[in-house]
């Protein structure tokens, strides 16, 4: 391929840099505001480097009304959701990849077609169902719905991966009298770490960021997850943006760090359509 000339290279870099600034400035400004005393939040002209930076927003946000608890709730809900999805979706994907059974194709397309259904179409019946099962205001109520919302895409991703695995080991195990569970847990799962990692990343992120169902199903303060807590935090401290953004940093900092460390899996999740904007 032809090498770009100096000028076209410079132009490309300038444009890329412009885009990168547009992508990051809002975050940087948010970070900066989170270190500002309240009286500096709307100073004119706005400053990127805060005058008299302070940690008080972070301390106040963390100690406000059990913020620590919301962080834990979010973590537990995301973790348990991820564990359940990993187990049930990989089992389902294994069934589709390795078995022949009655109604297989219909079942598979039923599950896949659910990806086209807007998840909010389900929210009113889900609310009634959760109410009847006494799952409102409870973390399991969040987990069950999140699992259901992630089964389809995870199964789709894992089935493709399982089908690409060589069969020899599995068939040999079968000949030696090994059961399907031995094959699944001892051979298939250990070979599938990369795609299991992808499922882990996007399921966890889903649980961490999910807002609508948590907003609808949780009323009780002590059961809030981070996105809803930040929302109600904003409601309670309308103009105290330093506080709101300090609280927000607690929610997005772990995601950004994980993203930089585990980029490959995020990108796989993105390209498979599991994480859409």
Partner 1 sequence: MDGGYYRSKQVIAFLVPALVFFLAFNTYPLIEAFRMSFYNWNIVRPENSQFVGLANYMKAFSDPIFWTSMKNTVLYALVTVPAQMALGLLVAMFLNFNLPGTKVFRTIYYLPVISSWVVVSLLFRYLFNGEAGLVNYILVDLLQIFPSYVSWFRNASTALFVIMLLGIWKGVGWSMVIFLAGLQGIPTELREASMIDGASSGQHFWQVVLPILRPTMGFVAIMLVIGGFNVFTSVFLVTGGGPLHRTEVLLTYMYYQGFERLNFGYGAALSYILGIIIFVISVIQLRLFQKPVEM
Which helix (DSSP H) or strand (DSSP E) does residue 276 occupy? none
Listed in sequence order, the residues at least 6 apart from 211 whose beta carbon sits closer than 8 Å to its beta carbon are 227, 228, 231
CB-hemisphere CA count at 13 Å for 58?
13
Candidates 53-61, 64-72, 103-111, 191-199 — which segment interacts with partner 1 by CB under 8 A? Answer: 103-111
Q: Which stretch binds partner 1 (CB under 8 A): 53-61, 65-73, 110-118, 191-199?
A: 110-118
Give the separation between CA 246 and CA 249, rounded to whole angstroms: 5
- Judged by phi (left if over 0) then psi (alpha if -120 to 50, else beta), residue 134 lies in left
Minimum CB distance to partner 1, residue 200 (Å): 15
> What are the φ and ψ backbone dihedral angles of 15, each rounded to 5 degrees?
-65, -45
Interface residue with partner 1 among 24, 219, 221, 222 (CB under 8 A) is 24
**Residues touching partner 1, count (CB under 8 A):** 97
* Rounded-to-integer distance, Cα 35 and Cα 60, Å: 12
Does residue 275 touch partner 1 according to CB under 8 A? yes
The interface with partner 1 within residues 219-238 (CB under 8 A) comprises 227, 230-231, 234
- At residue 221, the 3 state secondary structure works out as helix
Instruction: Among 139, 142, 147, 153, indicate the residue that binds partner 1 (CB under 8 A).
Output: 147
Regarding 108 and contact with partner 1 (CB under 8 A), the answer is no
Task: State the nearest-atom distance from the C-beta of 130 to partner 1, in Å.
Answer: 9
Q: Which part of the chain contacts partner 1 (CB under 8 A), choosing from 55-63, 65-73, 89-97, 192-200?
A: 89-97
| Range 37-76, binding partner 1 (CB under 8 A) | 42-46
């Amino acid at each position: 391929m032809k090498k770009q000339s100096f000028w076209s290279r410079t132009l490309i870099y300038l444009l890329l840099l412009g885009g990168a600034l547009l992508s990051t400035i809002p975050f940087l400004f948010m970070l900066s505001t989170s270190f500002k005393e309240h009286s500096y939040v709307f100073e004119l002209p706005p400053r990127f480097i805060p005058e008299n930076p302070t940690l008080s927003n972070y301390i106040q946000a963390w100690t406000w009304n059990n913020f620590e608890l919301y962080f834990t709730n979010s973590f537990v809900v995301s973790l348990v959701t991820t564990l359940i999805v990993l187990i049930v979706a990989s089992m389902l994907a294994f069934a589709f990849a390795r078995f022949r059974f009655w109604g297989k194709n219909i079942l598979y397309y039923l599950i896949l077609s659910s990806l086209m259904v807007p998840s909010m179409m389900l929210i009113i019946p889900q609310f009634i169902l959760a109410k009847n099962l006494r799952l409102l205001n409870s973390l399991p109520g969040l987990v069950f719905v999140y699992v259901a919302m992630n089964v389809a895409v995870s199964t789709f991703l894992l089935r493709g991966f399982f089908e690409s695995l060589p069969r020899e080991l599995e068939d040999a195990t079968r000949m030696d009298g090994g059961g399907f569970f031995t094959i699944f847990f001892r051979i298939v799962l250990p070979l599938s770490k990369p795609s299991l990692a992808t499922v882990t990343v996007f399921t966890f992120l889903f649980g961490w960021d999910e807002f609508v169902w948590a907003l609808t199903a949780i009323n009780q303060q002590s059961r809030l997850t981070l996105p809803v807590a930040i929302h109600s935090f904003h409601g309670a401290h309308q103009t105290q943006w330093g506080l709101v953004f300090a609280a927000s940093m607690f929610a997005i900092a772990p995601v950004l760090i994980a993203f930089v460390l585990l980029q490959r899996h995020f990108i796989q999740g993105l390209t498979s359509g599991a994480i859409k904007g």
